[in-house]
C-alpha cells in the first residue's frame, strides 16, 4: 500500500513537471511581449467580472477565466491557467495515442509543432481561441482512446473540455458535431461488427452537457436570464452584406416603394464589402441603431434573403467555408490596443498599466511577414500528410488511427463552416487550429516509430499487430 502511494506521488510530481514545462512554450509569445496579448474582443472580457456587462452576441462563459484576473489582481494568471490546461490536454493526448510508448517524445513533438504552427500566439491572448484545439483533441482522446487513460486523467480532460465548450459559442458547434459523428460511428459499428473500434461517447456527452450548463449559468449570473446564446441576426445580416446577398435583396425590394420597406434602403449603394467593416467600421450600422436598434430590421432582411435565395445562400455557405478553410495568417488583431484597452486597464488593473503600455504589442513591434508563408506550407503539408496516413492506416486495419485522422479533418472543416459560413471568414478562426494537422502527423509518426510494426511499402507507420487483431 505504501509503495503504491509513493509511486502515485511520484507520478503526480512527474505529470505536474511535464505540464509545467509544456506550458512554457505556450506562454512564450506573451513572455516575449512583456504582457498578455489582446484581441479586439478582449476589451469586453477583461471588464466583465467588474461591470457585469455581457459582450455583444457572445456567451459570458469566458468570464469564468476573466474572474481569475479579478481574484488575483492580474491578467497574467488567466493565460497561465489557459496554457496549463492546454498543456495537460496535449500530454493526455500524447499518452493516449502513443499507448504508453515514447510518451515523452510524442509530447515534445506535439509541443514543438504546436509552437511552430502558432498555437502560443492564441494561448497567450486573453481570449478563448487558445482553447479550441484542446476542446477538439480532448474530445477525441475521450472518444477513441479512453481505455488508454487512467480514470483521474479522463476526469480532468472532461473538465477542461467542458470549460472550453463554455468559453466560446463556436466550441459548442464543434463539440456537438464531433459527438454526432461519434454516435453515427457507433451505429455503423453495430451494423458492421468488428470493422470499427469502440467509440466511447459517455464522457464526451457529459463534457458537452457540462459546457452548455456552464455557458448558460454564466449568462444567467451576468444578466439574470437563463439562455445559452444571444440572438445573432445582426451578425447574420453583416455576413449577408459581405457575401452580397443583402445588396441583391435590397436592390429588388427597395426601388419604387414609398416609404421604403427598410431603413437600410437609403444606404444600399454604399454598403461596405466586409462584415467587419459593416459592424465596426464606417457604415450605417450605428446610424441605424447598432446591435439593439437594428435587430428588427436585420430579422426582416435575413428572413427575406433566406426565403428568396436559398440556392445562392447554399452556394455562398460553401464558398465561405472553403475560404475560411484556407485563411490562417498569424497576427490577426494583434495590433496596438491602447485605444480600446487603456481605460479598462487603468480602471481595473492600474498596477499593470505600465507593463501593458510597454508591451511590444502596444509599440507595434509584432509582425509575421516571414512566419506566415511557413505556416501556409505547414498547413497544407499537414493536411496532405493526414490524408495519406488515414489511407495507410485503413489499409493496415488500424481503424482507431484512421478514425482519429478523419475526425481531425472533420473538426477542421466544421470549424471553417461554423466560423466562415455562419459568422464571417477571419484569419484568426482557422489560424487557431493551423498547427493541428502537422502536429498530428508528427505525433503519429513518432508514436509509430516506437512500435513493432509491419508495413506495406509506402504505407507509413501503422498500428501494432495486437490492435490489428482486435479491430480486424
Interior angle at CA 417, CA 118 and CA 180, nearest 5: 100
Using CA atoms, how far apart are residues 372 and 133, in angstroms rounded to an integer?
Answer: 19
Q: Which residue has the cell 469502440?
A: 198
- Across the chain, mean pLDDT equals 90
**pLDDT tens-digit map of 168-202:** 999 999 999 999 999 999 998 888 777 788 999 99
Q: Give the gyration radius of the chain's Cα atoms.
A: 24
Give yes or no for residue 461 having a pLDDT over 50: no
Grid cell for residue 364: 507595434
93-111 per-position pLDDT tens digit: 999 999 877 899 999 999 9
Of the candidates 126, 88, 74, which has an alpha carbon nearest to the alpha carbon of residue 340? 126
pLDDT exceeds cutoff 80 at 259: yes
Place of cell 471568414: 425
- On the question of pLDDT at 380 being above 90, the answer is yes
Q: Which pTM does this prediction carry?
A: 0.93
Cell 487603456, located at residue: 342
Judged against a pLDDT cut of 60, whether residue 1 lies above it is answered with no
Q: Model confidence at 149, in pLDDT bands (50, 70, 90)?
A: very high
pLDDT digits (tens, 9 = 90+) for 315-330: 999 999 999 999 999 9
Residues in a beta bridge with 125: 37
Angle between helices 245-253 and 233-243 (to 10 degrees): 90
pLDDT score, position 229:
86
Q: What is the mean predicted confidence (pLDDT) over 201-216? A: 96
pLDDT in tens, 401-460: 999 999 999 999 999 999 999 999 999 999 999 999 999 999 999 988 545 333 333 333
Amino acid at each position: 500500500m505504501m509503495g503504491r502511494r509513493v509511486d502515485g506521488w511520484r507520478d503526480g510530481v512527474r505529470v505536474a513537471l511535464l505540464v509545467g514545462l509544456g506550458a512554457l512554450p505556450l506562454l512564450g509569445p506573451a513572455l516575449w511581449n512583456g504582457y498578455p496579448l489582446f484581441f479586439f474582443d478582449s476589451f469586453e472580457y477583461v471588464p466583465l467580472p467588474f461591470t457585469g456587462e455581457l459582450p455583444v452576441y457572445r456567451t459570458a462563459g469566458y468570464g469564468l477565466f476573466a474572474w481569475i484576473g479579478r481574484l488575483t489582481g492580474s491578467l497574467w494568471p488567466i493565460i497561465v491557467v489557459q496554457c496549463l490546461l492546454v498543456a495537460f490536454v496535449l500530454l493526455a493526448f500524447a499518452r493516449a495515442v502513443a499507448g504508453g510508448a515514447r510518451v515523452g517524445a510524442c509530447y515534445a513533438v506535439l509541443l514543438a509543432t504546436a509552437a511552430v504552427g502558432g498555437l502560443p500566439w492564441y494561448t497567450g491572448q486573453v481570449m478563448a481561441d487558445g482553447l479550441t484545439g484542446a476542446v477538439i483533441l480532448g474530445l477525441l482522446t475521450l472518444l477513441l482512446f479512453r481505455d488508454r487513460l487512467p480514470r483521474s486523467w479522463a476526469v480532468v480532460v472532461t473538465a477542461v473540455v467542458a470549460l472550453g465548450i463554455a468559453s466560446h459559442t463556436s466550441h459548442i458547434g464543434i463539440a456537438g458535431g464531433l459527438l454526432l459523428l461519434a454516435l453515427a460511428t457507433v451505429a455503423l459499428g453495430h451494423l458492421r461488427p468488428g470493422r470499427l473500434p469502440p467509440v466511447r461517447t459517455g464522457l464526451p456527452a457529459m463534457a458537452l452537457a457540462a459546457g452548455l450548463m456552464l455557458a448558460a449559468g454564466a449568462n444567467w449570473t451576468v444578466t439574470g436570464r437563463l439562455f445559452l446564446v444571444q440572438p445573432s441576426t445582426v451578425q447574420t445580416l453583416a455576413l449577408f452584406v459581405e457575401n452580397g446577398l443583402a445588396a441583391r435583396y435590397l436592390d429588388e425590394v427597395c426601388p419604387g416603394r414609398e416609404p421604403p420597406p427598410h431603413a437600410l434602403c437609403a444606404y444600399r449603394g454604399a454598403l461596405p464589402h466586409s462584415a467587419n467593416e459593416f459592424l465596426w467600421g464606417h457604415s450605417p450600422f450605428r446610424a441605424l441603431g447598432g446591435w439593439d436598434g437594428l435587430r428588427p430590421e436585420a430579422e426582416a432582411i435575413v428572413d427575406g434573403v433566406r426565403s428568396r435565395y436559398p440556392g445562392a445562400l447554399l452556394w455562398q455557405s460553401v464558398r465561405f467555408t472553403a475560404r475560411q478553410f484556407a485563411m490562417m495568417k498569424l497576427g490577426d488583431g494583434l495590433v496596438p490596443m491602447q485605444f480600446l484597452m487603456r481605460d479598462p486597464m487603468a480602471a481595473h488593473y492600474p498596477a499593470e498599466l505600465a507593463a501593458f503600455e510597454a508591451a511590444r504589442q502596444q509599440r507595434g513591434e509584432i509582425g509575421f511577414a516571414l512566419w506566415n508563408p511557413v505556416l501556409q506550407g505547414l498547413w497544407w503539408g499537414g493536411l496532405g500528410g493526414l490524408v495519406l496516413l488515414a489511407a495507410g492506416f485503413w489499409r493496415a486495419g488500424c481503424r482507431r488511427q484512421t478514425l482519429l485522422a478523419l475526425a481531425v479533418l472533420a473538426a477542421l472543416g466544421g470549424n471553417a463552416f461554423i466560423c466562415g459560413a455562419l459568422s464571417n471568414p477571419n484569419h484568426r478562426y482557422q489560424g487557431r487550429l493551423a498547427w493541428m494537422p502537422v502536429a498530428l502527423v508528427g505525433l503519429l509518426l513518432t508514436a509509430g516509430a516506437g512500435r513493432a510494426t509491419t508495413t506495406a511499402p509506402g504505407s507509413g507507420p501503422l498500428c501494432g499487430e495486437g490492435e490489428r487483431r482486435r479491430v480486424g
